[in-house]
Structure 1
């Protein structure tokens, strides 16, 4: 389907440019604006149901309930549906490490190991190598859908989409002229971005941006520790909030049965072996004191996710880890397969390739559960300086500015793993690709609304059970 980036690296710049332009014969830039569902399009609810088959059945109604809240929430949980829609259409063959779920809420403020606040992609559950435009299309459509949720006009929605795609295209052209190491070291420092965009912001937008940056710096592991734990006779333990947070002790039919606790302890031990030696040394300064099952996100609801509470010197020295089940990427069926023997390793490898700075505790493991089934997990800190966008609070100008940040950030992520020279040559200097993606975003937003309505009808008919919390 695609020429390996390792091969393009051996070509001269002019050959890489020629290869990128030749991709227009496989998929013209204007063809990306076309979106019509296949006659044999899979039932979108069946696509979601196939994902649910391997998840915890008692949590599936929560997933459907969250997806029913709005078309945008539905879109967040429908990455598999979009993958099945994009898979059959012509693609460029210009491969990058895809995020796989590049909607606007998966871009946020994060802490680097050096304690700088950076803007980057945050979610990698679906990461896999594939055509660069799949990520751009998912991101573009998310801005159209978010604009509709805010009651923006079609012109205002399309303005955000075009800003996003233009930022991606222009920054990719910048990377095409940079050295390999310069691309690898590039990052989006939050304070520098704020200064850069200040002249484009109104007074309220500047205030909200400053508040978001300050708030992100307070969202530390200590804040999460205070929020998610309580003092008990045994010491600090995870506070129950069922069904969203359920301590292991409350899940056991027999509290004296420590089999599942041993299973989760093996998660921690197996994961530790995937860390570098200095980080294993750091982890050994902590000991595990409690665990709880956590319901996360929208699309991930029903996968097995655990909070692990570890304590260092004393109760004022905590470490909260999240061990999340990693299943096959929704893109795998549409990209010719998945060469990873562990899905947790796939997530970690993709994250390290895409993100400028990854969590120092990022790792993976494989565990055979009490039911005899083997499952893959990836592990990371639960929270560390995260600032999440609030698109529902944005006016059209704010949404365009955020679209600019997301488009440019996605280009940086793709330039690290793909060939920026070839991609930039394909995109060219005109706005043809921008205009095509704007048409696509509106058409896919229409389709997303139809799928959302179909889910609502299925719940009303009793075909699907949804639960709202």
Structure 2
């Protein structure tokens, strides 16, 4: 596949229905939350893009591809990078969403990231030249990083990471006060997103004990859910069994840690954009006392959007697929990341992690071109590191070469894909207007 062929966006035939793909994806989701998903996607072309990983996977499958396979994030758009705490309690920067992780051609992740930069630039009012500059710079950062990793030892690549403290090196040089304020607010917010912060915002004390606060439809405690044929106590029994089985997926010392907590309460929580409607629970656990909380997120794991266009997963559980993909790509992972595999065919798989542990992401719609460029370089380096851990970095580096052909082709592709994304956003808007899809806005 020649490098300049990456500019090509193969147009689907007239029978392709991108909105039909979304509707089909919604059939297995919680019905009352599907309108919320569409409402969030209809805010802007950028939020539509965030929820349209399946549409882009279908589009990418129609075009040329390399045989250079890596572990893909599967949804490597700009907002799926962020900060969180390492086990050593340092703030690190990395990919932070792996629902769609699956092996595939390395360039699919690059195109997902690059197109998100073009779309975000349009959303922020950047000129055509400014948007192209952002995409070219980011893609060049990916190419040069892969070549640097190709010259490193296996262990050096494995240990490579981006530490945030005492500041993001690539962002400290930003001259724009607006972008510097955005970065600083995001980091300060991340430091406050820990278990005690979650306890304050998500729980209340009732009859001397903690329980989740009701904030429907975003947070609905199990006691308020009306699930056909499922009593609240049965739901709690199920979650207790799930936690017990999840603990078996952890290494011994972390299993010992989780077994020191007792179950307190459970609630359904709406998360993200593309994930809205999948079954996501938050679970309150108690340690030595009420000031020793642990809040886990149990999130439904379905098949990756990439699987239909690549190869079947090697894992018997999609929860295990997500966890093992995350461990492969991230420099540091959540120490309590694990999975639960349902033995019943009709029941979903789950993966579990801490709800918040200094987790945070940048609000990209407030960045100027300089700020977005710096942040994009950071994301591109991180993606290159993840691919170099899981794929043949020497082969990818040799393929990309030392010239700028790849980044120019990706910039062409990104502009074309942003046009298609706007067209598909218009189709979703029409579907909402004519009643083809239900929409709940402002949630």
Among 329, 336, 340, the residue aligned to 2:311: 336
Among 52, 75, 82, the residue aligned to 2:26: 52
Question: Is there any run of 5+ residues in structure 2 with no aligned partner, and where?
Answer: none
Which residue does 1:194 correspond to in 2? Answer: 168
- Kindly state the Cα deviation for residue 193 of structure 1 after the two structures are TM-superposed: 6.0
Partners of 1:103 and 1:221 in 2: how far apart?
Answer: 27
Which residue does 1:300 correspond to in 2? Answer: 275
Partners of 1:263 and 1:306 in 2: how far apart?
Answer: 12
**Is the CA contact 1:368–1:375 (under 8 Å) kept in the aligned structure 2?**
no
- Kindly state the Cα deviation for residue 208 of structure 1 after the two structures are TM-superposed: 3.9
Which residue does 1:350 correspond to in 2? Answer: 325
Partners of 2:57 and 2:136 in 1: how far apart?
Answer: 22
Partners of 2:287 and 2:167 in 1: how far apart?
Answer: 36
Distance 1:289 1:169, change over 3 A: same
**Is the CA contact 1:266–1:367 (under 8 Å) kept in the aligned structure 2?**
no
| 1:232 and 2:197 are equivalent in the alignment | no
Which residue does 2:255 correspond to in 1? Answer: 280
Which residue does 1:7 correspond to in 2? Answer: none
Partners of 2:55 and 2:181 in 1: how far apart?
Answer: 38
- Kindly state the Cα deviation for residue 201 of structure 1 after the two structures are TM-superposed: 3.6
Partners of 1:87 and 1:48 in 2: how far apart?
Answer: 17
**Is the CA contact 2:170–2:374 (under 8 Å) kept in the aligned structure 1?**
no
> CA RMSD for the aligned pairs?
1.6
Partners of 2:201 and 2:358 in 1: how far apart?
Answer: 15
| 1:319 and 2:294 are equivalent in the alignment | yes
Which residue does 1:373 correspond to in 2? Answer: 346
Equivalences for residues 12-91 of structure 1 within 5 A: 27-39=1-13, 42-91=16-65
Partners of 2:11 and 2:52 in 1: how far apart?
Answer: 15
Q: Deviation per CA, 1:197-219, whole angstroms, max 9, x where unpaired?
A: 43354455445434433332222
**Is the CA contact 2:99–2:304 (under 8 Å) kept in the aligned structure 1?**
yes
Which structure 1 residue ranges, 4+ long, deviate > 4 Å from structure 2? Answer: 252-257
Which residue does 1:412 correspond to in 2? Answer: 385
**Is the CA contact 2:278–2:299 (under 8 Å) kept in the aligned structure 1?**
yes
Which residue does 1:171 correspond to in 2? Answer: 145
Partners of 2:25 and 2:79 in 1: how far apart?
Answer: 22
Partners of 1:427 and 1:334 in 2: how far apart?
Answer: 24
Partners of 1:459 and 1:93 in 2: how far apart?
Answer: 39
Which residue does 1:162 correspond to in 2? Answer: 136
**Is the CA contact 1:249–1:255 (under 8 Å) kept in the aligned structure 2?**
no
- Kindly state the Cα deviation for residue 88 of structure 1 after the two structures are TM-superposed: 2.2
Among 87, 90, 99, the residue aligned to 1:125: 99
